[in-house]
Structure 1
């Protein structure tokens, strides 16, 4: 019977194995003999829902989740993203998630899964739809072989909001004129980014410094700027000074800007412009002995704002800075057609018969401004020829600059620009944790075009300046050309701010007449921003309390005693180098200053210093002064007044009050009550009696225990 059961058992096992092999045979991925890798015909991984558009913008990172399934179960060893010929780069890893779970899985079946990954879109990506795919390295569960398959259909990703490369322009050049040797000033100008990409690694250089003119100040000749955001601007300031050896005249300075127009660019773009500084210097005989020189000074233009298509009068003084007279002076404007100026007369040159040493003549030219003139700074070049008394001929070339040129046609073709023309934070300093009213004026600098549908957004790093109520954005319907609108918003300064300047960014998004409508719905028109640096003072809240003179007993005159006090930092920032001292005519401190150290925000402790009262039987008065520094090293003092009653030292003035017999140790020693041997016998008897009693008690307890044991047995 046992043998039959064994045969039945083995037969059952054989049938089960055959059934399993037969049922699963259709899903086995067969391997080819020559390559050792499995064919992919049996496994198909496909996207289950491609109805949702995947939209990304240049220069951003986007998280993407794609629903996928497989026609059969398959283990996944590795997943790769195929991004060839696309502006995308995989950021991190690509993972496969099972529906309803957040942990990555290593297999896929006909149950809903999600292919998740993040991609970085290049800042220079063009608008359009791009296709990416995923490659799966799968494992055959039966033959332990590997094979590769891809998604049945590609993943389509649409790029919108194409950006334009950064393009910097140099505008609003300002510098004090007519300075004398030793004078200092700032050469300031603005860099405007006309593109929507950020200009990176910006290097600004000013050249043209010389010992006979202008010299650089503390900032040197070069400044570096990390980044100028798209459609943003940056104000640059170079300190300059007039050399002690400066010679009167116009000193030309060249401003050069070098930058990366896009983060992916390998070459740098440049922008260059020139300006001039009028200097009133000195002239020496040794300087002019080498050659005869004529100096141009006091350049004037009428009108002060020349307009394209209208007339312009340019005049200047031509001074003979030599020790000799010069003769037959001819002044001729050259290359006018290239500078967009044309002479009103057919013979624009001027002739001067003689200029005596040290004297000047005024030269004036009537010109017409071309319709194609460039706005801002322009220049006119003059060729000057002259002779000395011996007939030797000299020649020189000078440049005269024409500033503030306006071209209405060029403005019409431009765009309106919104700027913060003025702002205020109130009369008091901004302190951490407090609220203030931020008032500012928004000005449209364009002379013809209005800015419409304006969205204004205020933001700051780490929410340093937070809106107390409502949203940080508001809307304006329109700001007409040349007009200004005033706004006020209540802000709160972050409580843990330390003393320094914090940036407040104000961004404008707006439209204007004639602007090109964006191709995508994501863009909202032109975006520009300004950043204001607001100085914030940290809100230190040190507290001194519980000043007690005489820590352990009543203070007495001329007797050192302890003085305890509590010091706590109730603010949100660290207090540095805290010390304590007293100022008083009633007390003197053993140690002039007690060093407490740095006190963290919210921390504190009790401290003690030793003082000696100098008065008696009165309320002594003193001032405890605690000194600390903030994060910028600024020192502050907290004076706290205290009082304490001082007793006089008790002295024995009446000799009768003292009884010498009170402390008399003389006399015989008292006799004992009993003798020593009797005391010893008594102790021995008491000991033996105690031992007997204890033995008796122990035997009694033991017998009681035995009786109870016998009773339990019965």
Structure 2
């Protein structure tokens, strides 16, 4: 027992030597072999230096030794297990705090709040590019609420330490060519004072219906282990752009998932944009040439017709159908063949040929006979395209047929493709192959408006002797806006011949085709490639059909890209009302990302007409700004017409009955009415309707009833029988748009029984006046009252009529 007490005393003496009373101690409680940072001590720089109580705020000046060189960036983070937490957050950026840590030792001023539990301060050093180092100190001035042996740390809400991740910098929008690879190297920066760990960056399309890259891309998610405060790390995505992606700007979404140092999970996202360019020209199928074997069809024999078509774009086209039109029994008919061919695919800039077997009718006249070629295919947007061109097949004149006196031979026309602005000649020779003289020969050359005559298109040859000939030539030019197709040129000849002493008129007509390569085709000249895509309003509707003044209406617009070759993008639609009649609810600017060639897009907006707008049609202006595939800017202006109407407010007073009503006795009625609206009521007619009575002055044509006017309707009715009489005063009128409206005002009139007539059949004994005077007066009193009522009604009608006439005269004076 004595030995045990001696050993215990010896241990206490050794502990006392190691920890002298009243001395501040600072030691590292965690020893890691060869730390980069070492806390060597501290002192209380601000606050109570003798004692630190719970919730006290103090600034500790920490002494730090640094080994291995100073990093570029360094942060100090207070561990959640510490007895202290940061006054302004648990992470301190030494660069932002102005701490010079370039030497082998330095000091850090750390503002903290004491939690009231324990005496330990644990911090982690977070160097840029290095591993975190954790050190601990015992702050002996801290006085815990409970004994240090069983510390109960105050919970700290670590969810408020949120890292903030975003793509750093601005710069140009990343751009790539359709069909190629686009590498997105995104610099992800932590702009907060809290470290982000286990960072996952995911890329997804902003609009699932418009994905510019190919399906099956698997590298749309990147993982980064940690992004320290102020640090920037890169995330790279390799995207294979679709070859058919329309040129334009596409919205993408960048999603972040990460945790802070305490392991609290967070998510955030931001938008970014990429630009896709597409220099390819959409597929466009056109007719190139037509040839036949033999060179001239012989009536009654077969002929092979070869139709050559070309893809004027750079993008391949598939499922093209070539169909012959104009086939008939007395002209050209199919010979064991079908009139349609399907071509599976035509490469960009390539050509294909379809051959048809035909038979010329036995009685087919010589010259050029027309047929048609229709091309059906789908453009890049999937819309069906159909294009038909006329062709002409030369037919040989047979020996058995009766030849015309005048024929056309040595016909010359362009064999090459014509471009907009080109000029060409159509030449031929008129030959009188008959045995009589042709007189008053008139030659006319006509075509569609895209082929413009340069020389006179009509020529008169006074006479052409038998066997004589006349060479003629006509010059034409291709219009600048000519489309790609085969244009027919008609040669018409009219002449007179004398047969059996009579003048007989004869006609001859022949056709020649001129192929024009219009603007926008890939094989055209550089000048022909300068096409202007245009956006127009192809359809619009107003709901309801008219805009009521002061109220809202919906306007639905359909915008069409009229170009068949070029799509447009970055479309800004600005809606304005030049005269201020309409206001646009919400924004008056709409953005449309892209619109393919021949494509249509629907947009809706809400407008409100000002309350005092006059009822008529107003214009709404649509200003369009957009770009083509090469980024060239364009502007256009469209207008739509919106009818505005004012609400009709015709108010009518009560029907006034001018006296008591008896069967067969006329009684006057009166009603005042007012136009309390802001619009003129046109062709106003007031009538009285009902059963059981006849009317006098039962209709009143007011005409155009202006705003603010009032008037009176004064019919007279005569009841057929006693009882309750029901009727209606009807107001019928039209508004400014011609829409007819009707308002009915009901009324009731009680018709009393007529008093009995006096008995005049027999003589009555004379009664003394004194005794029977009252009885006689009572007998004739109802007749007198009825007469007085009729008289009063007539006087009232006369006064009201004069008053109405005087009011109209005053309104006429005001108009003048």
Q: TM-score range by the shorter chain?
A: 0.3 to 0.5
**Bigger radius of gyration:** 2
